[in-house]
């Protein structure tokens, strides 16, 4: 579970009754794609012939550029998550990160799903005993990638949803 029971209107677009501008929605999608891409190799090493997670990341970016409708980006996210279903560990989490990144086109609050699953992937890929340190390093790296325009929003969202995101943002 990565979405709150009550939607945060700061992460709901203006046309849906929230306060999120399209430009910021796009920045959230690009940041989520960057987070997912950072750990994508953990999936691709396990399943090099399966393009679905990479296609989901590409779909998120294509949606931002206006080259892909939201429903197609969202569908690509579902396909990426389908690629994860029979896997375990880092590869599974990396595919879920890609799926969450594409889902940002539909619901901006999936931005933390991409980031949290990327942290989980980094934790799972770390050598024995190094998972927590690897997760904190991934979280800090992600924060360094945050665009200034959405930085305060994402950091507050991380604070509010850290518990339901497996404490991924304790960094």
List alpha helices for the chain, DSSP H. 22-44, 52-64, 70-84, 89-103, 111-125, 131-145, 148-161
SS3 20: strand
Per-residue pLDDT tens for 25-69?
999 999 999 999 999 999 999 999 999 999 999 999 999 999 999
Q: Residue 60's pLDDT is what?
A: 98
Q: Are 40 and 99 in contact (CB under 8 A)?
A: no
Q: Which two tokens stand for residue 102?
A: 């594409």
List the domain boundaries for the chain. 9-165
Other CB atoms within 10 Å distance of the CB of residue 35? 30
Q: Give me the tens of pLDDT residue by residue for the chain, a chain 171 residues long.
A: 689 989 999 999 999 999 999 999 999 999 999 999 999 999 999 999 999 999 999 999 999 999 999 999 999 999 999 999 999 999 999 999 999 999 999 999 999 999 999 999 999 999 999 999 999 999 999 999 999 999 999 999 999 999 999 999 999
> Hey, what are 122's tokens?
């980094």
């Amino acid at each position: 579970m990565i979405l709150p029971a009550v939607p945060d209107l700061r992460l709901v677009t203006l046309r849906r009754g929230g306060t999120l501008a399209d430009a910021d929605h796009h920045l959230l999608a690009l940041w989520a794609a960057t987070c997912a891409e950072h750990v994508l190799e953990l999936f691709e090493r396990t399943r090099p012939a399966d393009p679905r997670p990479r296609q989901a990341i590409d779909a998120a970016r294509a949606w931002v550029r206006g080259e892909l409708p939201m429903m197609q980006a969202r569908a690509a996210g579902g396909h990426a998550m389908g690629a994860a279903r029979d896997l375990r560990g880092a590869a599974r989490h990396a595919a879920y990160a890609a799926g969450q990144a594409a889902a940002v086109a539909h619901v901006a609050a999936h931005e933390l799903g991409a980031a949290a699953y990327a942290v989980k992937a980094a934790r799972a890929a770390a050598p024995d005993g190094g998972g927590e340190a690897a997760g904190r390093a991934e979280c800090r790296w992600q924060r360094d990638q945050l665009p200034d325009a959405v930085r305060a929003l994402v950091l507050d969202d991380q604070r509010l949803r850290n518990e339901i995101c497996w404490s991924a943002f304790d960094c």
